[in-house]
Amino acid sequence: MRVIAGTARSMPLKSVAGLETRPTQDRIKETLFNVIQADVPGARFLDLFAGSGAIGIEALSRGAKEAVFVENAKAAVECIKSNLEFTKLKDSAVVMECDVLTALNRLSGKGVFDVIHMDPPYNHDYEKQVLSALKGSNIVDRYTLIIIEASLETDFSYLTSLGYSVIKEKNYKNNKHVFLNMDGGEN
């Protein structure tokens, strides 16, 4: 696993040992950032269920002005901090060691994020819980781009009832990225 582009290009990243996290493969990460490349420079980026921090670090390397990493597992938090130190991107990063819903409450009133990426454990409906919490939150607006990495089987038929519009869906061999925003937003 490595940083694909930007100031930390080609730098290797550590990942957490074991099966608790699923690092996004480099080719999928590259495809993701090809899709969102215009949204990243100068952005406030929120990386939920951050794992090793690879997605948020990629955003910082590509010019995001700030990335907030939210991760509950202690080993993963240490991995994120180590990767930020190694890539020299820690000054633009905030690492929150807590569950995602607690983090969303703590971030309330501290500004809107331009891009929110979440990669929750598959097939547990965590994305629905997060989207429900974001619906009434002041950390998103109609222009916030929300990206969910999920299993191919994940059902998102509830999105419109929560007030979200799907902008794009990109399917891979084993998973997918769903790009959305609040109804009325345009990217």
Q: Residue 79 falls within a domain, yes or no? A: yes
Question: Which pTM was predicted?
Answer: 0.92
Mean pLDDT score across all residues of the chain: 92
- CATH of residue 99's domain is 3.40.50.150
Q: Is the pLDDT of residue 158 over 90?
A: yes
Q: 84 is in which domain, residue-wise? A: 28-182
The predicted pLDDT at position 22 comes to 61
The predicted pLDDT at position 187 comes to 42
Q: Residue 176 falls within a domain, yes or no? A: yes
Q: Residue 161 falls within a domain, yes or no? A: yes
Write the pLDDT tens digit of every residue in 13-23.
Answer: 888 876 555 66
The predicted pLDDT at position 13 comes to 87
Burial class (CB in 10 A: 0-12, 13-18, 19+), 39: buried
Q: Is the pLDDT of residue 156 over 50?
A: yes
Other CB atoms within 10 A of residue 4 CB: 20
Q: Residue 158 falls within a domain, yes or no? A: yes
Other CB atoms within 10 A of residue 92 CB: 18
> What are the residues whose beta carbons fall under 8 Å from the beta carbon of 179, sequence distance 6 or more?
35, 36, 145, 146, 147, 166, 167, 168, 169, 170
Q: Residue 90 falls within a domain, yes or no? A: yes
Phi, psi of 131 (to 5 degrees): -65, -35
Q: Residue 148 falls within a domain, yes or no? A: yes
Question: Into how many domains does the chain fold?
Answer: 1
The predicted pLDDT at position 185 comes to 46
The predicted pLDDT at position 164 comes to 97
| Cα–Cα nearest to 119, from 94, 150, 152 | 150
Phi, psi of 171 (to 5 degrees): -95, 140
Q: Residue 4 falls within a domain, yes or no? A: no
Q: Residue 9 falls within a domain, yes or no? A: no
Q: Is the pLDDT of residue 40 over 50?
A: yes
Of 21-35, 55-69, 78-92, 140-154, minimum mean pLDDT range: 21-35
